[in-house]
Structure 1
Amino acid sequence: MSDPFPDEIDEAVWDEACRRADAIRGFLRRHSDSTTAGDVAELAVEMDVSQATAYRLIKLFRAGGTVLSLVDRKRGRPEGHRTLDEKREKIVRTTIKACYLRRTRPTVSQLIRDVQSNCISAGLKPPHRRTIVARLHDIDLQKRAKRRGESNIVKATTAVPGSFEVSRPLEVVQIDHTKADVFVVDEETRRPLGRPWLTLAMDVSSRMVTGFYLTMDAPSRLSTSLCLLHSVFDKSAWLREREIPEQWPVAGLPDTVHVDNGADFRSRAFKRGCEDAGITIEWRPPGEPRFGGHIERLIGTQMGRLHLLPGTTFSNEHDLGDYDSKRHAALTLRELEQYVALDIVGSYHQSIHSGLGRPPIAVWREHEGEIPLRLPKDRRRFWLTFLPEQERTLRPTGIHLFGLRYWSGTLSADVGRSDRRLLVKYDPRDMARIFVRRPSGNFVEARYADVTLPSITLHEAVTARRTLLAKGRREVDTHAIVRTAMAQRELVEAATRKTAAARRGKASSKSKVDDRGWGSLRGVDSSIPVSLVEDTD
């Protein structure tokens, strides 16, 4: 069975794997040439495991290179595990606040002694050292540093706009969203659809745009993930599909991404996908828009270029004047995407950047040989990690998703064998194929059941479906439906009256003949002659 995705791992198990991964990464950096048994013994103490386990974890991490490779395959809490009781939990947190978060900077060892002493005084068993240290890790690093007066840590965890410097490309990439200052039109009708959202990623060192994503949907985990995927992978094929001759040499995993505090950047799947690949996420402090200044300026630049397009909304109502943006809108979403790509690779990358005094692509080329190009070891799995997902039932006809039908010969073996809904991963930019997780745990690629269909985006598929439904509604004869409903109502009312009248008449007749005893049988059974009935009387 294939490995689970990062967001499917139990929280406690994942946190422990992250801690081990950080320790091993540091160990491998310090001992890149050779290691001794003593070095491994020190790492074992740091991770609080045996030396044999330390060797095993190093081997696993070297082979896998991800946090997921260090996750214990036995999911959930260990058998017999119990959380700290409420009384001791309160003592630990109170002691941390009163004794550790102070300007005098007590040591962790002193904190542990204080907690143990307080628990013993209360007649309770002291918690383990690891439990106390784990509670420290629950506190935000910068908040902890501020309370303890650790200015170096505060400075290291605080971005300074305008003066923030990095040593090389892909050390820090900033990502942000904006609503484009232009209306786009529908592919078929050419009627205005609305203003799309643009998600941009930029390398702070070279100021190169590393990737972008354009969509009609509001910012979400999806737009963030697809922008990151575009940023990480080679763009040669992507450019050829859009007939763009210029080069876009940026590719590779960034060391750190700077993002704001939006829910899309805080999603569990996005967070764990980055952690698994060794990408550090740094969130912009709430209420401090000055952070992330590089990407903010880039967005302003890109929006300024869109003001030259038909259908622009400009940046404010004063500039807009009496210009009717919707009426003048001319570009579709695909055309706008191509325009933005052309502007990035053919204009922005080639122009002198005011902060660098040089074109961004020249800075990138200069450092290209120094960039430690990190690519996901399992590219397909990394890609699938960030794609959106749905659950669907496998029918004999295949997988049905957004009105499209998909099939793969491999799925034949699973039809009718299980009632479980299957996890389906899809790329909204290319709905020609999906990836289905079989009951065995492995993913299989499924394509259109009708292989003659061209590739379309999810937006195009949804729009086409809405168009068909709207057309069907227009073809409905509403007057005929109303006339039929009224006729049916009158028919039911007439039938009800007739039945009620017949029942009243029958009840009245029965009441009269019942006074004559057996005479009530007259005429009930037409096969009995009336004379025989009378003779019986």
Structure 2
Amino acid sequence: MSDPLPDEIEDVLWDEACRRGDAIRSFLERNPDGATAGDVAELAAALNLSQATAYRLIKLFRAGGTILSLVDRKRGRPQGHRVLDDKREEIILTTIKAYYLKRTRPTVSQLVRDVQTNCISAGFKPPHRRTIVARLEDIDLQQRARRRGEQKIVKATTPVPGTFGASRPLEMVQIDHTKADVFVVDEETRQPVGRPWLTLAMDVCSRMVTGFYLTMDAPSRLSTSLCLLHSVFDKSAWLREREITEPWPVAGLPDTVHVDNGADFRSRAFKRGCQDAGIAIEWRPPGEPRFGGHIERLIGTQMGRLHLLPGTTFSNEQDLGDYDSKRHAALTLHELERYIALDIVGSYHHSIHGGLGRPPIAVWRDHEGEIPLRLPQDRMRFWLTFLPEQERTLRPTGVHLFGLRYWSAALSADVGRSDRRLLVKFDPRDMARIFVRRPSGNFVEARYADLTLPSITLHEAVTARRTLLAKGRREVDTRAIVRTAIAQRELLETATRKTAAARRGTTSSKSKVDDRGWGSLRGVDSSKPVPFVEDAD
């Protein structure tokens, strides 16, 4: 611990130090060439100190020349002094590392019990609780919090002297995922189906949301790619489909996307697609969540708004209480998507942002004329780059994908010409069309073979197929199957016996015919040899 400041010293101690300083200063002035033991003894008597203490104070004053150096120090052990033997010190440190610095976050009381138990087992006297707590305090607070997963302490003890920002819109776009704090229901049955995942993209400069994607599937390259596609392209048609009239003016390729170290952001397809379009990828340093602070705060804001919806799970169990989220769930995935979009283009974009002091859309409009609107040179190629794919065989009936059948006249020339499986690209948000790469390398658009079918999402298609299969399984009469299987088994056994008996009867008849043809052997003693008669010439 560092020395206290002069104004932190008690008056009595400070006054005594000043008296000592005056006496020693006069002593040194009288004895510039050195003092005898008798001179030091006189000084010690004047200050009411031992001769050894007088020598020590003279040395301190010569070295520092300050009154503070002459203040009486507290009696007791020096700061940081340890009196435990090495064996018990080792047991305490080993137990702290093995049992306390864990993400299960055991309590200090549990640590004390563990240390004392280990000491007793080793034949040593257990140390006092204060001693064990003192060893804990010797460990750096932030290091201890990181090992225990105490993120609030890590955040509170992490200096952030600089700022992470951008000078203009689309210079830096952050993307991240979160599980929505609300249950959604099925489109048909209106029964709860789970909590969806939300992927958000945000422009760091203006704090405008550049795009989002809502899905029931866990974060993946797909959700990241579809969020980026929504971010880059004009949203006018998308808004019209959802009957939203508020503008969402954000469009264009970002210079850099700022993402975490998740596998979806490290996928080869995502990296190659960004490189091809001239988008740099910047990954956050591992274990440094503050570098994603802008998008994290946006996610927190959006989740807070979802806590007003029926079916919310809130952010913690205390807020949830006895509220039954599943029973109160009311919105489908489509309805929740529209709700989030309305909230973004209405409330969020037009409300004052705490970090900006202005609405995000106002900041965007200020820079709109300066933003170099950079769009993909080949929009279709860029779009297809980020879409998911499957491989399928081209049949005479078309391409079959997720239980749906697609056809294009452009595929007629390829039917039956090759055994190669074709690459099929699809947009999970709109399964009315797919894109098939022909053997020549060109992509062609294929639509439903039945053009009367409406557009559905991949989730709806998979759910409908799963429902149909479940219905089919429920309609199966297992008893009827067993009864017919037993009847078939009996039929086979009966037929086999009849056939075998008939064949045995046929064999006996053939033997009698053969005996008559060769003459009867009755009356011939077969035990006697038949004499051999050689033919005469």
TM-score (norm 2): 0.65
Post-superposition Cα deviations, 1:484-520, rounded to whole Å, max 9, x if no partner, equal 23333445566677788x69x96xx9xxxxxxxxxx9
Residue of structure 2 in register with 1:131 after alignment: none
CA contact (8 A) 1:211 1:227 kept: yes
For residue 424 of structure 1, what is the aligned residue in structure 2? 424
Q: What is the deviation of 1:417?
A: 1.1
Render the CA deviation track for 1:386-421: whole Å, top value 9, x for unaligned.
000011111111111111111111111111111111
Say which SS state the counterpart of residue 405 (structure 1) adopts: strand
CA contact (8 A) 1:161 1:294 kept: no
- Does the aligned pair in 2 maintain the 1:174–1:203 contact within 8 Å? yes
Residue 313 of structure 2 aligns to a residue whose secondary structure is: coil
Q: Is the 8 A contact 1:160 1:291 kept in 2?
A: no
| Equivalent position SS for 2:351 | coil
Whether the aligned pair in 2 keeps the contact of 1:161 and 1:292 (CA below 8 Å) is: no
| Counterpart Cα distance in 2 of 1:253 and 1:483 | 65
Q: Contact conserved, 1:311 with 1:328, CA < 8 A, in 2?
A: yes
Aligned residue number for residue 433 of structure 1? 433
Using the TM superposition, give the Cα deviation of residue 534 of structure 1 relative to its aligned residue in structure 2, in angstroms: 5.5
Contact 1:203 1:209 in 2 (8 A): yes
Partner residue of 2:337? 337
Q: Does 2:398 match 1:398?
A: yes
Deviation by residue 1:71-110 (Cα, 9 ceiling, x = unmatched) = xxxxxxxxxxxxxxxxxxxxxxxxxxxxxxxxxxxxxxxx
Look up the equivalent residue of 2:510 and give its one-letter code.
V
Aligned to 2:360: 360
Distance 1:435 1:240 in 2: 24
Opposite residue 318 of structure 2, the aligned amino acid is H
1:220 offset after TM fit, Å? 0.3
Q: 1:494 to 1:442 in 2, by over 3 A?
A: same
Q: Which residue of 2 aligns with 1:384?
A: 384
Please give the alpha-carbon distance, in whole angstroms, between the structure 2 residues aligned to 1:372 and 1:394.
43
Pick which of 471-480 and 251-260 moved more. Answer: 471-480
> C-alpha offsets along residues 41-68 of structure 1, whole Å, 9 cap, x if unaligned?
xxxxxxxxxxxxxxxxxxxxxxxxxxxx
1:144-189 Cα offsets, whole Å, 9 max, x none, are xxxxxxxxxxxxxxx9698212110000000000000000001001
1:160-239 alignment runs, 5 A limit: 163-239=163-239
Structure 2, unaligned runs of 5 or more: 1-158, 523-537
CA distance in structure 2 between the partners assigned to 1:391 and 1:178 by the alignment: 30
Q: Is the 8 A contact 2:164 2:291 kept in 1?
A: no
How do residues 209-358 of structure 1 correspond to structure 2 at under 5 angstroms?
209-358=209-358
Mapped to 1, the partners of 2:186 and 2:211 lie a distance apart of 25
Q: State how many pairs are aligned.
A: 364
| Alignment gaps of 5+ in structure 1 | 1-158, 510-519
Alignment of 1:42-191 (within 5 A): 163-191=163-191
Equivalent residue, structure 2, for 1:535: 520
**What displacement does 1:482 show?**
2.1
Cα–Cα, structure 1 residues 493 and 245, in superposed 2: closer, same or farther, change >3 Å? Answer: same
Secondary structure of 2:274's partner?
helix
Instruction: Check 1:473–1:521 CA distance in 2 against 1; reply closer, same or farther (3 A cut).
Output: closer
Deviations 1:110-131 (A, max 9, x none): xxxxxxxxxxxxxxxxxxxxxx
Q: Note the alpha carbon deviations across 1:29-49, whole angstroms, 9 max, x for none.
A: xxxxxxxxxxxxxxxxxxxxx
Which digits, 9 at most, give the CA deviation of each residue in 1:187-237, with x for residues without a partner? 001111100000000000000000000000000000000000000000000
For residue 524 of structure 1, report the CA deviation from its aligned partner.
2.3
Secondary structure at the aligned position of 1:340 is classed as: helix
Structure 1 522/280 Cα, relative in aligned 2: closer, same or farther at 3 Å? closer
Structure 1 pair 521–339 and aligned structure 2 pair: CA distance change class (3 A): closer
Matches for 1:17-28 after TM superposition, within 5 Å? none
Asked if the contact 2:425/2:434 (under 8 Å) is kept, the reply is yes
SS at match of 1:169: coil
How far off is 1:274 after superposition? 0.4
What is the rounded CA distance, in whole Å, between the counterparts of 1:476 and 1:254 in structure 2? Answer: 55
Structure-2 change in CA distance of 1:380 and 1:529 (3 Å):
closer
Q: Is contact 1:161–1:290 with CA below 8 Å preserved after alignment?
A: no
Q: 1:278 to 1:522 in 2, by over 3 A?
A: closer
Contact kept in structure 2, 1:172 and 1:257, CA below 8 Å: yes
Structure 2 partner of 1:82: none
2:446 aligns to what?
446
- Bigger CA radius of gyration: 2
State the alpha-carbon separation in 1 of the partners of residues 391 and 464 from structure 2. 22
Superposed displacement of residue 474, structure 1: 1.4
Matched residue type, 1:313: T
Once the 2 structures are TM-superposed, how far is the Cα of residue 256 of structure 1 from its aligned partner? 0.5
Q: For 1:409 and 1:218, how far apart are their aligned partners in 2? A: 36
Q: Distance in 2 between matches of 1:438 and 1:171?
A: 38
Q: Aligned partner of 1:535: which letter?
A: S
CA contact (8 A) 1:425 1:436 kept: yes
1:522–1:533 CA contact under 8 A, matched in 2: no
How many angstroms does 1:291 deviate by?
A: 1.9
Do the aligned partners of 1:161 and 1:291 also contact (CA within 8 Å) in 2?
no
Cα offsets for 1:327-353 (capped at 9, x unmatched) = 111100000000000000011001000
Equivalent position amino acid for 1:523 in 2: S
**TM-score, normalized by length of structure 1?**
0.65
Shift of 1:374: 0.5
Looking at structure 1, the residues matched to 193 and 337 of structure 2 have their Cα atoms a distance apart, in angstroms, of 15
